[in-house]
Amino acid sequence: MKNLIILLLFILLTGIAVLDFKGKISVVSKWNVWYTLFVMPHIFLLAVIFEKYLSVWSLVIICLYCVYCLVRLHICPVLKDESENLRLIIMAGGRILLLFGITAFLMQSLAYILLWNVIQRRVIPNQQISSQILLIDGVITAVCVLLLLLNGLFRVYFTSRRLGIVRRAVFLLIWWVPIVNIVMVLDFCRQVRWEYDHECNKVILHKVRVDSRVCATKYPLLMVHGIGFRDLKYLNYWGRIPREIIRNGARVYYGHQEAMGNIEDNARDIQSKIFEIIEETHCEKVNIIGHSKGGLDARYMISEYNMGPYVSSLTTIATPHQGSELLDVLAKLPDKLFRKIASLIDLHFRNLGDRNPDCYTSSRQMLPSYVQEFNRHVRDVEGVYYQSYALVMKNVFSDTLLWFPYAIIKHIKGPNDGLVCVESAKWGEFRGILTNTYRRGISHADIIDLKREDIRGFDIKEQYVKIISELKEMNF
C-alpha cells in the first residue's frame, strides 16, 4: 500500500511538472508559491518529525517537486506578460521575487519562533538534537529566502529605468540597515510597478496606432534646442522624444545652432537649416518646436530675417518670452567677474564645436529688461501660427539639478520650472501648463527628456505626440 501511494504521488507530481513545462498549467501561481515557500525550507525538519509516517522516497519526491517549483520561480516568475519586451519581463519578475522574498522572510521568522518552542517542548525533548535540527533548518530557510531577494534585486537593479542613480546609490550605502532596507526594497517594487504599467500601456498604444501616423504633419518638424547645448549625433538634446514621434510618422530635423551663440547668429543658423530642409524635401514650409532660448532664436529668425513665408507654425516650450528672473540675480555680480566666467564657458564650448560662442551676450539677452525691448521690435508675422506651453515644478525636490534656481524664482515670481516662470512662458496662443498629478511636477530639463526618466503621471514622449498630432489636425 505504501509503495502504491509513493507511485501515485510520483506520477501526480511528475504530471504537474510536465504540464507546467508545456504551459498548460503554472506552478508559480500565488497559492502554490506560498505553499512551496512555506514547506520547502523545512523539508529536513518535516522528515525528522514525520519519519514514522512517511517513507524516505515520499519525502524525496515532495522535496524534488518543491525544488522544481523554486527553480521555476527563479527562472520565470511572470505568469503572463503584456509588454513583449525582455527587459520588462525580467524586471517584472524581479518585483515578484522581491515581494515573495520579503513575505517569506517575515513568514519564516514567525514560523521559526513557533517551531523552536514546539520542537523543544513536545517533539524532541533532547536539547542537543533539537538545536542541531533547528540550526540546519534555519540555514536552509535563510538560503531559500536570500536567493529570492538576491535574484529579485539583481533583476530590478539592472533593468529598471525609473529607479534612477540616487535610489541605487542610497541602497548600496544602507542595504545592511534593518527595516530601512525592507522599506527601500518595497519602494523599488512600487517604482517597478509604475514603470511596468506605463510601458505596457505604451505597447497597447503602439498597437492601436500602428498604421495611423498621428505625427505625420503636412510640413516637416524643425526642433530647436536651448542655450548651453548642441545637437549632437549620439547624445540627442531631445532624449527619446524624436524616436517616438518618428515612429508615429513625423519627419524630424534639428536647428544645429550654436550652444552659446547670441540670438542674431543663432537665427541665421536656423534660417540656413530651413532652406536646407526645403531643398531636400521640396516642401513649402516647416513647423518649428523651440525649447527655452530656442524659441527666442526662432521668433527673431521669423520676424527679422523675413522667414514668415517658410514657417507654418512655431511652438515654444518653456521659452522666457518675458525674460528669466534668474538672469536678473546673476546680472548683479560684478561685471568683470561675470565676463571672466563667461569667457571660461566660451572656451569650453569652442572646444565642443561652437564657432563664435558668446556666453556674456547670449545670457544677458534673456534678462527681463532686454526681452521687453526685444518684444517691442520682434513682432509676430501674419500667417505663422504661434503657440506656447509653460511648465511647473511643485517643490524644490522635483529636480535635483534645478532646485536652487527654482527656489529663487519661486520667491521672486511664483510658480516656475526651475528657470522660467509661467507668465514668462506665455506667447501667442497659450496652450496651458504642463505638469503631473503628483508631487513632483515637470521641470525645464524634464520636458526635453534630459535624464531619460519616466515620470509618474506624465508621459513626456506622449506629450510631444499630442502636440504634433494637434498640428497635423490643424493642417500644419
Report strand pairing: 221-224 vs 429-434: unpaired
Q: What are the E-state strand segments in 152-278?
A: 221-224, 252-254
Grid cell at residue 179 = 527595516
**Do 136 and 237 fall within a single domain?**
no
- How far is the C-alpha of 272 from the C-alpha of 35, rounded, in Å? 69
For residue 143, the tally of other CB atoms under 10 A from its CB is 11
**Do 232 and 116 fall within a single domain?**
no
**Structural domain of 285:** 217-473
In a domain, 137, yes or no: yes
| Chain Cα centroid distance, residue 87 | 13
- Quick: pLDDT tens for 122-159: 555 554 556 677 777 778 888 888 999 999 999 999 99
pLDDT band at 315 (very low <50, low <70, confident <90, very high): very high
In a domain, 210, yes or no: no
**Do 373 and 324 fall within a single domain?**
yes
CATH code of the domain containing 322: 3.40.50.1820
pTM over cut 0.85: no
Angle at 222 between CA 218 and CA 227, to 5 degrees: 155
- How far is the C-alpha of 366 from the C-alpha of 337, rounded, in Å? 19
**Do 155 and 29 fall within a single domain?**
yes
Burial class (CB in 10 A: 0-12, 13-18, 19+), 163: buried
pLDDT of amino acid 79: 62
Q: What are the E-state strand segments in 27-119?
A: none
**Do 93 and 238 fall within a single domain?**
no
Query: Based on C-alpha coordinates, what's the Rg of the chain?
Result: 31
In angstroms, what CA-CA distances link 303 with 10, 103, 266?
Answer: 84, 65, 14
CB 175 within 8 A of CB 181: yes
User: pLDDT at residue 120 above 60?
Assistant: no
**Do 170 and 273 fall within a single domain?**
no
**Do 254 and 123 fall within a single domain?**
no
- Quick: pLDDT tens for 239-249: 999 999 998 99
pLDDT band at 422 (very low <50, low <70, confident <90, very high): very high
- Return the residue matching grid coordinates 529605468: 161
Domains held by the chain: number: 2
**Do 233 and 86 fall within a single domain?**
no
